[in-house]
Amino acid sequence: MLYINGEWRKSNCGDTLEVMNPATGQLIKSVASGGREETREAIECAKEAFKTWKKATGEQRGSYLAEAVKKMKEKADDIAETITLEMGKPLLDAKREVAGAISYLDWYAEEAKRIYGETIAASHPDKHLMVLREPVGVTAAITPWNFPSSMITRKIAPAIAAGCTVVLKPAPSTPLSAIKVFECFHEAELPKGVVNLVIGPAEEIGDEMTENPDVRKLTFTGSTNVGKLLMRKSANTVKKVSMELGGHAPLIVFADADLEAAVQGVLLTKFRNAGQTCISTNRIYVAESIANEFGKKLAQEVEKLTVGNGIEEGIDVGPLINSLALEKVESHVEDAIRKNGKVLCGGRRVEITKGHFYEPTVINNAHDDMKISTEETFGPVAPIFTFKDEAEIIQRANHESYGLAAYCFTNDLGRGHRMVKELEYGIIGINDASPIVPQAPFGGIKESGIGKEGGKSGLLEYLEEKFVSINMGN
């Protein structure tokens, strides 16, 4: 179903989209699929709604978000199950995601009251200078399938807290979770047109979103290539853009690190969501002197992970999203083996039902000329590279084009700080493999993105500064 101007509806020409379960290859459901026309209608409604929504107080806007929190808590288990069915992550992880999704609504429900301006010292005694912060306007949001609920609230919560109205396009593979999240907004009785949901062909909807001059802001999470395309398309109408794009995270383990903690860090950042996260570890750099021991310990733990349909109990690693994703993972592993990589565990497809499963894999003896050392694998493959000293690893850890997340394990305080200074990434975890919280800015540098989500910075992305100079003289 599409959700436009506070109403659930079909598309104008009755088109539908099939949603498949990646764990079984079976059809879950068909949903209404709209295109350019419906997107234009949704933008029109969002434009109309903006006229009054921007005048609501922060307290009023926050109270709608607080209501949405209540509704989402009531539906949490149902949303989690939907996530598992349509994108495959284990149910427990899906529940964690929904809790995360709620935390963004909750945090911005409070923060809606805390939008501040500034006054500036004038250069003339008769002048008053001030800066006001006002909502940007109609916002188009495009979200990915790997976190199909939390990527929505991470965009919508700050947007509506700031006073913007939104038209959202979820990924075509995960529209059902988006519908469930929008049911919460509907039940929270958000005024008509404040949030709108359009499901359908990406390019068609994307073209309307980027070409329509009434859209003043575009917020996107997805691949770097699509992000670049959307930036180019948004240039004609000079939209404000936020881009959360690809990453290629290094995880560095120094010889002085707590090895158990580092192994747990890899399990968390590499095998959660089957490695399908933009902040997933892609390169594990281990000090030469401890590399064998580390590889053994890691492989021992990885072998314990259970692969299967995430809806069943006790599953650690679910399927990959589709057959293309599976082929990419396979090609990265084959390339690594051809270049003398040693498979410590895993390394093959798993034939369960008709799902897209791949064994959790650890590869030793990884080298900088392998595909996995520069391209995003987006799968459960952990390559171990070795390094000699700090100077060398600083050089190798920084990526030519990506700069999203980096992790480092060391028990040397000074070294930890030096790494923070040298690593060219937007998010850094020192002895911390799960640094993401709603109150902190999430975002990359270089080709990993523009702008932040979460925290105060996340709110500023939806606000425009207006400078006012008042001459009090007569």
Residue 167 binding ligand ADP, by CB under 6 A: no
Q: Which residue has the tokens 């976190």?
A: 147
For ligand ADP, the binding residue among 172, 416, 435, 441 (CB under 6 A) is: 172
Q: How far is CA 383 from the centre of its chain?
A: 23
Q: Could you tell me the smallest distance in angstroms from the CB atom of residue 222 to ligand ADP?
A: 3
**Catalytic option among 86, 97, 208, 244:** 244
Residue 144 binding ligand ADP, by CB under 6 A: yes
Handedness of CA 459, 460, 465, 470 (dihedral sign): positive
Q: Give yes or no: 244 in active site.
A: yes
Residue 202 binding ligand ADP, by CB under 6 A: yes
Contacts of 128 (CB under 8 A, 6+ apart): 119, 122, 468, 469, 470, 472
Quote the tokens at residue 421: 């200074």
Task: Work out the burial of residue 302: count CB atoms within 10 Å of its CB; fewer than 13 is exposed, 13-18 middle, 19 or more buried.
Answer: buried
Q: Could you tell me the smallest distance in angstroms from the CB atom of residue 197 to ligand ADP?
A: 12
Q: Could you tell me the smallest distance in angstroms from the CB atom of residue 415 to ligand ADP?
A: 35
For ligand ADP, the binding residue among 206, 275, 310, 383 (CB under 6 A) is: 206
SS3 category, 338? helix
- Helix, strand and coil percent figures for the chain, each rounded to 5: 40, 25, 35
* 430-436-442-448 Cα dihedral, nearest 10 degrees: 70
Cβ closer to ligand ADP: 36 or 452? 36
Q: Could you tell me the smallest distance in angstroms from the CB atom of residue 208 to ligand ADP?
A: 10
Q: Could you tell me the smallest distance in angstroms from the CB atom of residue 90 to ligand ADP?
A: 19
Q: Could you tell me the smallest distance in angstroms from the CB atom of residue 189 to ligand ADP?
A: 27
Cβ closer to ligand ADP: 6 or 172? 172
Interacting stretch for ligand ADP, rule CB under 6 A, among 10-18, 154-162, 198-206, 280-288? 198-206
For strands 402-403 and 445-446, give the pairing.
antiparallel
Q: Give yes or no: 408 in active site.
A: no
Q: Could you tell me the smallest distance in angstroms from the CB atom of residue 321 to ligand ADP?
A: 7
Single-letter residue type at 306: T
Cβ closer to ligand ADP: 144 or 310? 144
Cβ closer to ligand ADP: 141 or 362? 141
CA distances from 431 to 37, 165, 416 (A): 49, 39, 9
For ligand ADP, the binding residue among 45, 85, 115, 142 (CB under 6 A) is: 142
Single-letter residue type at 219: T
Cβ closer to ligand ADP: 146 or 365? 146
Q: Measured at CB, which residue is nearest to ligand ADP?
A: 206
Interacting stretch for ligand ADP, rule CB under 6 A, among 13-21, 152-160, 202-210, 458-466? 202-210
Phi, psi (rounded to 5 degrees) for 334: -60, -45
Assign 3-class secondary structure to 389-427.
CHHHHHHHHCCCCEECEEEEECCCHHHHHHHHHHCCCCE
Cβ closer to ligand ADP: 292 or 323? 323
Residue 226 binding ligand ADP, by CB under 6 A: yes
Characterize 179-188 residue by residue with b for buried, 16 or more Cβ atoms within 10 angstroms of its Cβ, and e for exposed: bbbbbbbbeb
**Catalytic option among 45, 184, 278, 408:** 278
CB 431 within 8 A of CB 410: yes
Size of the site for ligand ADP (CB under 6 A): 13
Residue 171 binding ligand ADP, by CB under 6 A: yes
Residue 203 binding ligand ADP, by CB under 6 A: yes
Residue 229 binding ligand ADP, by CB under 6 A: yes
CA-closest candidate to residue 451, choices 107, 220, 135: 220
For residues 172 and 176, what is the distance between their CA atoms, to the nearest angstrom? 9
DSSP summary character for residue 280: S
Q: Could you tell me the smallest distance in angstroms from the CB atom of residue 229 to ligand ADP?
A: 6
For ligand ADP, the binding residue among 88, 158, 222, 310 (CB under 6 A) is: 222
**List of residues contacting ligand ADP (CB under 6 A):** 142-144, 169, 171-172, 202-203, 206, 222-223, 226, 229
Residues assigned a catalytic role: 244, 278
